[in-house]
Amino acid sequence: MKRSLQIIIILLAAGQFSSCSSSEEKPEEAKTHQEVKEEAKETPDAHLPNDGFLTAMNELKGIEKHFVQGDLKRYRSLLKYHGNEDYKKVDDFLPALDVEIVFLEIKELDARNGFIKFETPTVDCVDEMAYWQKANGTHLIGKTQVCCTMFCEGEIAFQSYDPDSGIYSNLESSDVIVDLDLITADLLEQQKNGGIDHQFVLPQNGLNLQHCIGDACVELNWSNGIFKLKD
């Protein structure tokens, strides 16, 4: 009888020890500083301060919204252009993301006509952006860049924006400027004798684009989302 009781006590003790061992949680390994920074870069929205930067960016309208497009560095440039001291809060926050900090400098902003001009201090280029509203309510956004060395050479790119979904999509320039092949052929012909200044000019007033080679410019007529050379 005593031997049976000893066996039962031993088995009960062993069961308690096994239960304690299986329920014990392994302590979570501490994350390194680099891992924390990597997470911040991958999900920056989750690390935004409570000052409402994300909300404020989402509430932007028109050309200011299209300029920022959820980019905190661009939002900082916009705040500073308007003389809003909150740009200093962005300065305090950005180093935590471990991102390269090069701020655009806004030179001109015409919110009423949907036009903005800005520069990157480290390069000899000027950027402009404008947008048009199509009949279906979506926006066409045009972006030009002119960079100057011996000659000034310009490029143009387009995006579409759907206000209902809040989605931006890149577009092929040839789908927007239907006569782009003719414009390119004319430029190549005039470049046979050497370099020449050329650029696209966005409208600050009106709707039409211009393409200029040297001092000669041709107008591209707006037609609900596409541009065509005048007949």
Tell me the β-bridge partners of 117: 108, 128
Token pair listed for 203 = 């409208």
Residue-wise pLDDT tens digits, 171-229: 999 999 999 999 988 888 888 778 889 999 999 999 999 999 999 999 999 999 999 99
What are the residues whose beta carbons fall under 8 Å from the beta carbon of 38, sequence distance 6 or more?
Answer: none
Question: Above pLDDT 90, what percent of the chain?
Answer: 57
Q: Interior CA angle at 226 toward 139 and 147, to 5°?
A: 80
Q: What value does the mean pLDDT take over residues 55-65?
A: 95
What distance in Å separates the CA atoms of residue 19 and residue 67, rounded to the nearest whole number? Answer: 60
* Whole-number average pLDDT of the chain: 81
- Radius of gyration, alpha carbons of the chain: 29
Instruction: Identify the pLDDT of residue 16.
Output: 43
Q: Return all residues near 60 (Cβ < 8 A) that are at least 6 apart.
A: 68, 78
Q: Report the SS3 class of residue 213.
A: strand
Domain definitions of the chain by residue range = 49-122
Which of 94, 51, 52 lies closest to 72 in space, CA to CA? 94
Contacts for 190 with CB less than 8 Å, ≥ 6 apart: 196, 213, 214
Buried b (16+ CB within 10 A) or exposed e, 19-46: eeeeeeeeeeeeeeeeeebeeeeeebee
Q: Are 207 and 132 in contact (CB under 8 A)?
A: yes
Q: Which tokens is 169 given?
A: 């999509």
Residue 8 pLDDT greater than 70, yes or no: no
CA 133/CA 56 separation, integer angstroms = 23
Kindly list the distances between the CA atom of residue 52 and the CA atoms of 48, 57, 98, 166, 215, in Å, as whole numbers in the listed order. Answer: 8, 9, 21, 19, 47
pTM of the model: 0.75
Q: Give the C-alpha distances (Å, rounded to integers) separating 229 from 140, 182, 205, 211, 217.
A: 18, 9, 18, 10, 11
Per-residue pLDDT, averaged over 129-135, amounts to 97
Whether the per-residue pLDDT at 121 is higher than 90: the answer is no
